Amino acid sequence: MANRFDVMLKNTAANLAKDSAVSLQWFKDKVDETTGRKRTDPNHMFQRSGTPQIGKMFLFYYDAKYKNTLPFFDKHPLVFPIEMYGDGFLGINLHYLPPLARVSLLRSLDIIKNNDKYNDTTKLVVSYKTLKAFATQFAGYDQCIKRYLYGHVKSSFHEVYPADWEKAAMLPLQNWSINKNRRYSGSPPY
């Protein structure tokens, strides 16, 4: 006979699988739209953006400056920029958490968004100082804070629309580059 925890775990795994399937279909549709295979409303695609903005979600390709000394890094970050600098930005890369924890963090960050419209005006009103001050409310954020340099970004920035944030967070888009020449104990986050 299954105990409550087993039932909860089974239900959570089933919901994760269902959410992942929905997210994957959403992503395939977005790729089709961006490549022109499907003609749909362009307001529902990733939008290519010149530079990232605080509180918006972006996907891009990245080649870390210190890739020879880092044990690993994500070459395809899914990031909310939280501080801007002349040469780059500090951001929350959701890929450093497993999918359920990503969604949990995303839902807790929902309380600091500027509106409930989930359109192109919606963004997080966020800073590192805010996250640190309310650390217990934003569990996991500290594992995701990473610094990105514009000179090491190897693609355009692609904004993920707010209505699609949760779907994007569920996708297995992370691409870990593991430094095989460096001795370290551990592995990428999951």
- Name the token pair of 168: 């994007």
Considering the chain, what is the average pLDDT of its residues?
84
Q: With the CA atoms of 187, 153, 101 and 167 taken in that order, what torsion angle do they form, in degrees rounded to the nearest 10? A: -130
pLDDT class for 16, splitting at 50, 70, 90? low
pLDDT in tens, 23-70: 667 766 766 665 555 544 433 446 778 789 999 999 999 999 999 999
Does residue 5 form part of some domain?
no
Asked if residue 124 lies in contact with residue 109, where contact means CB atoms within 8 angstroms, the answer is: yes
Does residue 7 form part of some domain?
no
Overall domain count for the chain: 1
Closest C-alpha to 150, from 69, 80, 86: 86
Q: Quick one: average pLDDT of 104-125?
A: 95
Q: Quick one: average pLDDT of 10-20?
A: 58
Does residue 153 form part of some domain?
yes
Asked if residue 65 lies in contact with residue 162, where contact means CB atoms within 8 angstroms, the answer is: no
Does residue 12 form part of some domain?
no
Does residue 38 form part of some domain?
no
Does residue 40 form part of some domain?
no
* pLDDT value, residue 39: 42
* pLDDT value, residue 184: 62
Does residue 10 form part of some domain?
no
Asked if residue 35 lies in contact with residue 47, where contact means CB atoms within 8 angstroms, the answer is: no
Q: Any residues with CB less than 8 A from the CB of 128 and at least 6 apart, and which?
A: 82, 83, 90, 145
Query: Which residue do the tokens 């801007």 mark?
Result: 84
Q: Quick one: average pLDDT of 181-190?
A: 71
* pLDDT value, residue 30: 67
Residue 70 belongs to domain spanning = 45-178
pLDDT in tens, 88-102: 999 999 999 999 899
Percent of residues, the chain, with pLDDT higher than 90: 62
Q: Any residues with CB less than 8 A from the CB of 51 and at least 6 apart, and which?
A: 157
Does residue 15 form part of some domain?
no
Q: Answer whether residue 79 shows pLDDT above 70.
A: yes
